[in-house]
Structure 1
Amino acid sequence: MSIRAVDLFCGAGGLTYGLQEAGIDVRAGFDIESECRHPYTENNSDVDFVEGDLSDDVSNAEIEEYLSAGEDDYTLIAGCAPCQPYSTMSNGNKNRTEDHEKWGLMDEFAEIVADIQPDLVTMENVPQVQKHDPYDDFCRRLAEAGYHISDRVVDCPNYGVPQQRKRMVLLASKHGRIELQDPTHDPDEVTVESEFSKHNFCELEAGETSDDDFLHNARGLSDTNKKRIRHSQPGGTWKDWPEELLLKCHKKDSGRKYIAPYGRMEWNKPAPTITTQFYNYGSGRFGHPEEDRAISVREGATLQTFPSDYSFVQSEEELSVKSVGKLIGNAVPVRLAEAIGQSLIQHIRNEDPQTQLQTV
């Protein structure tokens, strides 16, 4: 007896990897983006990758086939519907969010669940999703189908993810009340330094790539940005710079509140939220705490708690930093995914203490 699962909107496989680490038998991931195929299948054991649009190319029967197992097995549909329509970055542009084609994907998720009726459901998303009608409709449809639902906005450092990142985690079950497990880590001990110290990152100059790992590479910096980062203090702002290095926006009232871009991380604190452009020095507080560069692609993956050998592309020749940055920034942090998986397993064992639940 086991929990068999599929991962919808699977991306590079962060959610699947964490669920498998917890002991859940994930059989397949579904995503419309072809660049997800290599990282998903290369790093996750015994899984299929199905490329297609869940609202058009992939049938519910195809999804359900992956969940078919012994009659005593439990089934799980997991996923993270794309969060761009619900994020604070999108909400600043009302027209973009109202017209965004991805609004409907949560409805598609609900349709799949309502049709297949798995034992368990989990979804991870941005906290702002709870303020929008598609999420209310999603929960209503789950409740009408007989699911017990819990949702919680979590601070990622509480679950071992070294980022100042909040995420909404929904769990639903046909078998009784369900909750995400209590925090697994002391957040004061979950920092950039605590994570980087687990890996043997060589020092880099801006524009350099490690001989040992082509994903440990740092984007080049202009001469002006080199001067800026040399004047930047860990946790500081552009106010650390001399007048001649300020951007025009910094001299306007409207731009004075934007203090994170071009900033350095701090060793003894979590990183900022890893976005899809974390490799750009000017896109947020993505400067290395000590070296005069932005964090590398591999360091960004590390802050998302991917293993140090997680493969995102087959070779350096195929590397697109923009594409891999998107895969990493959009991923469910692996350690949070593992906590979700552990919560689902413990729920089944609590509801039926006699069950002989096997984990992979």
Structure 2
Amino acid sequence: MKAVDLFCGCGGLSLGFQQAGYNVVAAYDNWDAATDVYRLNFSHPVHKADLMDAGKASESIARYAPEIIIGGPPCQDYSSAGGRNEEGGRAILTVRFAEIVAAVRPGWFVMENVSNIMKYGKVFEAMQILHDAGYGLSCHVLNAALCGVPQRRKRFFMVGRLGAADGFLDRYFIRHLAGREMTMRDYFGDRLGIDAYYRHPRSYARRGVFSMDEPSPTVRGVNRPMPSGYTLHHNDPVKTLDGIRPLTTMERAAIQTFPSDYHWTGNKTAVEQMVGNAVPVSLAAYVGNAINEYIVENEQRAARHGKQEPSMRTHGHIAV
């Protein structure tokens, strides 16, 4: 399917869907630093655009006639790392995402966000818009560590399909989850040359050292050095801080399952932020493949019963 990625950031969702076989034809974001990185890694257009104007954005996106719109509206207003205040100015972009999907009317959409988004009213406003536009919705919170990512990162996914019943993708979301979480050592082996590393805690009531034999904690948009006065926490999995160091920017990008040949540009602060904001590539591919399985199985079922599945193709028209 032809895909357009909204709020694309540095490209984690796009790359994962490409790996799952989708044809990403365009992307949109309003942050120059992220679009600079995106442009280095993809041949299709990436547009700098403020998607707050859903009408103008829909006209641009419709030209690509996408069969699926994917995207992760900014999560800072919902995130535990942010203000948890949906009146902060960015939560409304969840509604704008829904308005764009409803206007362009692709056969499918995928929206990604933080795991606790269902506690906030804006997502229900968005879901009502999508229901009214004819989309059936499947929602699930996935732990990236069960989806091929060495990181305990829980993310909310809402997948919509025109004409489907709610919950249509539920069993496909969980079909291929791993039996246990992927650890850092599972993914890296001994390539990093360490058995433990430092990740700055939000509070010194929490530990700051993590073992290679567990999943990484959620990669955040900041990466602070270990302070000289850090003392061992009772939950730190080491007896001494000798050899303990924070992970590098590129090691953090690798935890997000970006390939080693992914190109990065910009200052360190910006790159750290876009790495932390990204959808892990392998998690995106997991969701893309779940949709692929649904399509294949339902096409086969329809063929066995002599029924025609609803077309996966649309013409990217604007709803009036």
Q: TM-score range by the shorter chain?
A: 0.7 to 0.9
- Contact 1:157/1:185 (8 A) holds in 2: no
Deviations 1:104-139 (A, max 9, x none): 111111110111111001011111111111101111
Deviations 1:40-78 (A, max 9, x none): 12223x32110010124953111011126xxxxxx0011
* Paired amino acid for 1:337: A
Counterpart-to-counterpart distance in 2, 1:187 and 1:311: 33
The answer to whether the aligner puts 1:126 opposite 2:118 as a matched pair is no
- Contact 2:2/2:23 (8 A) holds in 1: yes
The answer to whether the aligner puts 1:196 opposite 2:185 as a matched pair is no
The answer to whether the aligner puts 1:341 opposite 2:288 as a matched pair is yes
Unaligned runs of 5+ in 1: 69-74, 204-232, 239-248, 250-254, 314-318
Q: 1:81 aligns with which of 45, 49, 73?
A: 73
Counterpart-to-counterpart distance in 1, 2:159 and 2:242: 40
Counterpart-to-counterpart distance in 1, 2:183 and 2:156: 21
Partner of 2:276: 329
The answer to whether the aligner puts 1:270 opposite 2:215 as a matched pair is yes
SS of 2:138's equivalent? strand
Counterpart-to-counterpart distance in 2, 1:103 and 1:165: 20
Q: 2:98 aligns with which of 105, 110, 123?
A: 110
The answer to whether the aligner puts 1:47 opposite 2:44 as a matched pair is yes
- Contact 1:39/1:310 (8 A) holds in 2: no
Partner of 1:224: none
Counterpart mapping for 1:148-227 below 5 A: 148-176=136-164, 177-179=168-170, 180-182=172-174, 184=176, 186=178, 188=180, 190-197=182-189, 200-201=191-192
**Identity within the alignment, %:** 30
CA-based RMSD of the aligned residues comes to 3.2
More helix by share: 1
The structural deviation recorded for 1:309 is: 1.5
Larger radius of gyration: 1
Deviations 1:159-195 (A, max 9, x none): 0111121111111111532234335453546111122
**Number of paired residues?**
290
Counterpart-to-counterpart distance in 1, 2:250 and 2:163: 40
Q: In 2 relative to 1, CA 312–167 (structure 1 residues): closer, same or farther, beyond 3 Å?
A: same
- Contact 1:279/1:296 (8 A) holds in 2: no
Q: In 2 relative to 1, CA 136–196 (structure 1 residues): closer, same or farther, beyond 3 Å?
A: same
The answer to whether the aligner puts 1:304 opposite 2:295 as a matched pair is no
**TM-score normalised to the size of structure 1?**
0.72
Unaligned runs of 5+ in 2: 304-308, 313-320
SS of 2:63's equivalent? helix
Partner of 1:216: none
SS of 1:12's equivalent? coil
SS of 1:307's equivalent? coil
- Contact 2:198/2:226 (8 A) holds in 1: no
SS of 1:308's equivalent? coil
Q: In 2 relative to 1, CA 37–286 (structure 1 residues): closer, same or farther, beyond 3 Å?
A: farther
Q: In 2 relative to 1, CA 106–34 (structure 1 residues): closer, same or farther, beyond 3 Å?
A: same
Deviations 1:176-218 (A, max 9, x none): 32234335453546111122228x5578xxxxxxxxxxxxxxx
The structural deviation recorded for 1:91 is: 4.1
Counterpart-to-counterpart distance in 2, 1:299 and 1:280: 14
Q: In 2 relative to 1, CA 49–287 (structure 1 residues): closer, same or farther, beyond 3 Å?
A: farther
Q: In 2 relative to 1, CA 4–286 (structure 1 residues): closer, same or farther, beyond 3 Å?
A: farther
